[in-house]
Structure 1
């Protein structure tokens, strides 16, 4: 099945890419969640607008990505959240929470879809998260989760 991606899908591609996937994956996962649309000649004209929107959000070049990675590496990010007596959180920390905390700490505005959390953050303390800034550059941010 030939599809046009509308959002970034890890391991598959970026918005505006035309990909070939198995029928079930496209029909049951990508299309219903709005990650992709069916490829047609008419839909191919939408690719230009999707790519233009992606370019506006995306970090322009490798040099800029390395500069932002340096900023993120030097940043002290603290995130206040509710926690129980034992230090276990009520819920977990999301990528959106981390993006907001980075911005509040004086860092650059990050797209939450580019933040990757290895294991779910469900306890107080310092945790490392990865931010994919560019296909060749990934930064690591230390986030300190404190009770608030």
Structure 2
């Protein structure tokens, strides 16, 4: 029996996939629990349309991702920090400060939980951070810690 998965099912497949399953599994579990629908001609047509829409959406997201990356790579972010006499900063630079700097200097709102600082930032200087945009798309951003 062929079914079209509506949502991800462990050990079977992802959403919007056409899979072969045993008749009892499809009729008694997948279809009643709204995890799948039967693969008849009208549902297959809907699946193709849905895939086209997802492809357009993915293309639009990729174009937006590329524009954000180009803006982030134009120049390094500048983050101010209070320092002692030896150049060491009080505390350290966090992802919250980097997210605020991106919002103020570049004009993009990025969630702080997506930002990962590669090195410990305890002194003035240049550092790198990774921003995870999801679906395996990461970008490295340079930032400079300067005295406030």
TM-score normalised by structure 1 residue count:
0.56
Alpha-carbon contact 2:78-2:146 (below 8 Å) kept:
yes
**Larger Cα Rg: Structure 1 or Structure 2?**
2
In 1: Cα distance, 2:147 partner to 2:63 partner: 37
- Name 2:130's counterpart in structure 1: 130
Give the equivalent residue in structure 2 for 1:139.
Answer: 139
Distance verdict in 2 for CA 1:67–1:18, change over 3 Å: farther
Equivalenced residues, count? 93
Query: Does the 8 A contact of 1:115 with 1:129 survive in 2?
Result: yes
Match of 1:68 in 2: 68
* Secondary structure of residue in 2 paired with 1:65: helix
- What is the deviation of 1:18? 10
RMSD: 2.4
Question: 2: CA distance between counterparts of 1:83 and 1:96?
Answer: 19
Moved more, 103-112 or 59-68: 59-68
Richer in strand (by share):
1
Greater relative contact order (Cα < 8 A, sep 6+): 1
User: Which residue of the partner structure matches residue 117 of structure 2?
Assistant: 117
